[in-house]
Amino acid sequence: MTQNYLDLDVRPILRNGGEPFRKIMEAVAILAPDQGLRLYATFKPVPLFGVLEARGFTHEAKEIGGGDWEVLFRRSGKSGEREAPAAPAAGIAGWPDPVQHMDNRDLDPPEPMVRILSALETMEVGDVLSALLRREPMFLFPHLAKRGHAWTGALEPDGVTYKILIRVGRPPDADA
């Protein structure tokens, strides 16, 4: 049986410094049961693979030239147990001051996420990391939830910088 795909090209969004996660998730939400998603991006969207796997999709990625990628997402037949990315922390009252600060505004995806996750691995439970980014890190949120970290973030008054605070936690399946 031939797979039918909805095409979504997020390269213009990425090239303009935007965050296409919401547009991708909106496209996934409107897929027919027999439909997949054909995504075009300016990089291999590895963090998206886990997000859509949790929603019951497999993927096949190939570079199509000039650093661009085509990724085919197909329904796997397995319904994802994990749903949307975790919600931010309800409040940061009682959080200690950040012990580490990162400025990732000059990095291209997925490097900011990779650097943040790497730094969190070296920190103690309860420590707080502060990071400055060019955009809201939608692909980072599921990874934070999976590792048991709490977070809060918002656009700074300059209207360009996104600041996130992450408090190191324990993964939900870690031994007490």
Q: What is the CATH number of the domain that holds 19?
A: 3.30.110
DSSP 55-92: TTEEEEEEEEETTEEEEEEEE-SPPPSS-SPPPPPS--
Q: Which of 28-32, 54-58, 63-67, 142-146 has the highest mean pLDDT?
A: 63-67
Mean pLDDT, range 89-108, rounded to an integer: 86
Instruction: Kindly give the pairing relationship between strand 128-133 and strand 150-155.
Output: unpaired
> Could you give the number of structural domains in the chain?
2
Q: Is residue 110 included in any domain, yes or no?
A: yes
Q: Is residue 88 included in any domain, yes or no?
A: no
What confidence score (pLDDT) does residue 142 get?
84
Residue 41 sits at the vertex; the CA angle it makes with 62 and 34, to the nearest 5 degrees, is 70
For residues 8 and 71, membership in a common domain is answered with: yes
Encode 39-66: b = buried (16+ Cβ within 10 Å), e = exposed.
Answer: bbbbebbebbbebbbbbbbebebeeeee
CB 137 within 8 A of CB 162: yes
Q: What is the CATH number of the domain that holds 108?
A: 3.30.110.40
**pLDDT, the chain, mean:** 85
- Residues of the chain with pLDDT > 90, as a percent, come to 41
Q: Which residue range forms the structural domain that includes residue 117? A: 100-167
Cα(62)–Cα(47) distance, integer angstroms: 15
Three-state SS at 2: coil
Residue 90: pLDDT band (50, 70, 90) is low
Contacts of 51 (CB under 8 A, 6+ apart): 85, 139, 142
CB 3 within 8 A of CB 32: no
Burial of 69 (0-12, 13-18, 19+ CB in 10 A): middle
Q: Copy the structure tokens of residue 159.
A: 């209207």
Nearest to 149 by CA among 176, 131, 128, 133: 128
Domain-terminating residue out of 32, 60, 75 = 75
For residues 8 and 59, membership in a common domain is answered with: yes
Q: Is residue 87 included in any domain, yes or no?
A: no
For residues 104 and 66, membership in a common domain is answered with: no
Domain-terminating residue out of 59, 75, 91 = 75
**Which amino acid would we find at residue 26?**
E
Q: What is the pLDDT of residues 124-175, one digit of tens each?
A: 999 999 999 988 888 888 889 888 899 888 888 887 889 999 999 987 666 5
For residues 49 and 11, membership in a common domain is answered with: yes
Instruction: Tell whether pTM > 0.85.
Output: no
Has residue 101 got a pLDDT over 90?
yes
Q: What is the pLDDT of residues 26-38, one digit of tens each?
A: 888 888 888 999 9
